[in-house]
Chain A
Amino acid sequence: MNKRVGQYTVTFQNPPEIMGSYCVTGPKEGQGPLNAYFDHIMPDTYNGEKTWEKTECAMMEMALTETIKKGKVTAEEVNYVLAGDLLNQISTSNYALRQIGRPYIGMFGACSTMALCTAMGAMLVDGGFANRVLCAASSHHDTAEHQFRMPTEHGNQRPLTGQWTVTGAGSLLLGAGAEAGIGAGAGAGTGSGGGSEPKIRVTSATLGKIVDFGQKDANHMGAAMAPAVAETLLAHFYDMGTSPEAYDLIISGDLGSVGLELMKKVLDKSGFHSLDTVQDCGCLIYHTHQDTHAGGSGCGCSAVVLCGYLLDRLRQKDLSKILFVGSGSLHSKESLLQGESIPGIGHAVVIESE
């Protein structure tokens, strides 16, 4: 059976199950409206480490190991780990994976990394190349500031379109269902236990292409990513023959409040008008009084909102079908200083609960 649908989308023949997930956040996210959904909230941004880079690394390690526990598997059963972050050479993931000891595929999709990892992980599992795949992404406000902006303690006024990089790491475990497991032994336990909880599966994925509309403002990345996210959504709708009404929730990664508005306008102009179910992780993660301006951003933003809030709501059957679309702006500090614009990208996965 051909798993490709249309130009951009793949559907999964045996949709991989999300067997477990875990997310850890910083204190600011812990004061946000979604705090009840986070598995662990660190008391401060260092959490006992000497540098923020080490903290981010420890966060990802924690997310990965706890996900393995929650999925009720052993580390040896994990065939691949797909992970990524925002730092140069995706160093957080590289260092975090020292302790995991499983085959590792580093992923970089900027802030779309969680969606990218989930899509690729699902392909590996449904393709029969893996039985259990861990997907993870992380970001840390201060490591991102360190790399992309000014020293953390430097005083400056952030523009109103600016977003706040989320301190957080999220991870989820994808597994082939018992019926499709490679090797009976490993495929036996499908994890979610009890039987009362619905199985949550990744049913299709649309990987996006780079769309660059010439935006150059690193303090307004929502505007750089919105056309790319809209493009991926349209590709998904056309390929699958669906429209926004087919999903309980369409949620972008970190467009922020201004970017989300722009993305809705682009969709509206492109012929899709009922957009009440369209939301953004960056808009949900903080209260407005937390002074983040346009909302949250970073790999961790969509990772913790997916691995905490969204999967919980799917488990509670509060939502039954979501279209999760990660948004990434694939620039570097140097490329912007040299006058280049920001290439945007969007990767979408459909997650359903049975």
Chain B
Amino acid sequence: MGTKSTLIKVTPQDYDKMNKEVQPKPKVLRNCVMALLVGGGICLGAQVLINLMFLGLTSGMESLDEASVLAKQKEAQTLGTVCMIFLGALLTGLGWYDILVSVGGAGGILPVTGFANAMVSPAMEYKHEGYVLGVGAKLFSVAGPVLLSGTIAAFLIGVLRFFF
């Protein structure tokens, strides 16, 4: 910062105060409700999908022991997650996911569909700059920090678990 003497009779300190006064107040309650509805809706859809997958995977099976139920459940969850990633990518490609997030905020960012959005949107954006230096170099421009902090957190928890 640095400004030589000004004609305006306001100091940067006064100005900061004025700026705080005029800041529009976000509608916190409304935003929370929308985040709950959008995020909850995405998760509900995913759960329905997983349950259907499980029914499909186990249909025709006569008797199931506990271990194979667990194995099939895991399989259904993986398939469900893959489907949600696909849906997130598809909606991003159609140009709808950013609208969903503008309404639902964190409700749209946190689920895995949001992560798909964070990967697909740079891929679309930088396509015109080439596949190596465009898409290749900038694909992780949004998701990169998330992946890095996730990896570091996993490493730290792994170290803790090793010792305790």
A residues neighboring B (CB under 8 Å): 50-51, 146, 150-161, 209-215, 220, 223, 227, 230-231, 234-235, 238, 258, 261-262, 265-267, 269-271, 291, 294, 341
Contact = CB atoms under 8 A, between A and B. Distances in A.
A231 B7 contact: yes
Contacts of A214: 1, 12, 16
Contacts of B97: 153, 155
Contact of A155 (B1, B4, B117, B126): B117
Contacts of B9: 269-271
B19 A153 contact: no
B15 A227 contact: yes
Contacts of A271: 9
A271 B105 CA distance: 42
Interface string B78-118: 00000000000000110101101110010011000010011
Contacts of A153: 92-93, 95, 97-98, 117, 120-121, 124-125
B1 A212 contact: yes
Nearest to B122: A151
Contacts of B92: 153, 155
Contacts of B59: none
A152 B109 CA distance: 15
Contact of B142 (A154, A215, A230, A231): A154
A100 B71 CA distance: 68
A259 to B, nearest CB: 9
B2 interface: yes
A230 B9 CA distance: 10
A158 B31 CA distance: 12
Given A155-B100, A156-B102, 8 more contacts: A50-B128, A51-B128, A155-B108, A160-B25, A214-B16, A258-B24, A262-B15, A262-B19
A173 to B, nearest CB: 33
Given A155-B109, A269-B9, A150 B3 contact: no
Interface residues of B, number: 44
B7 A265 contact: no
For the complex of A and B, list the 6 residue pairs with the smallest distance between their C-beta atoms, beginning with the closest. A155-B101, A151-B125, A214-B1, A151-B121, A154-B121, A153-B121
A160 B26 contact: yes
Contact of B109 (A156, A212, A262): A156
A346 to B, nearest CB: 11
A160 B28 CA distance: 12
B23 interface: yes
A150 B23 CA distance: 23
Interface in B12-56: 12, 14-16, 18-19, 22-26, 31
Contacts of A159: 26
Contact of B122 (A154, A209, A238, A262): A154
B10 interface: yes
B8 interface: yes
Nearest to B88: A155
B51 to A, nearest CB: 27
Contact of A227 (B8, B23, B141): B8
A220 B15 CA distance: 14
B63 interface: no
Given A155-B98, A214-B12, A161 B114 contact: no
Given A212-B1, A227-B8, A152 B98 contact: yes
Contacts of B118: 154
Contact of B121 (A152, A220, A258, A265): A152
B124 A266 contact: no
A158 B100 CA distance: 13
Nearest to A223: B19
Contacts of B22: 258, 261-262, 265
B124 A234 contact: no
Nearest to B21: A265
A103 B7 CA distance: 37
Contact of A270 (B4, B7, B25, B125): B7
A234 B3 CA distance: 16
Nearest to A294: B24
B6 interface: yes
Contacts of B14: 269
A159 B120 CA distance: 23
A156 B109 CA distance: 8
Nearest to A51: B128
Contacts of A146: 125
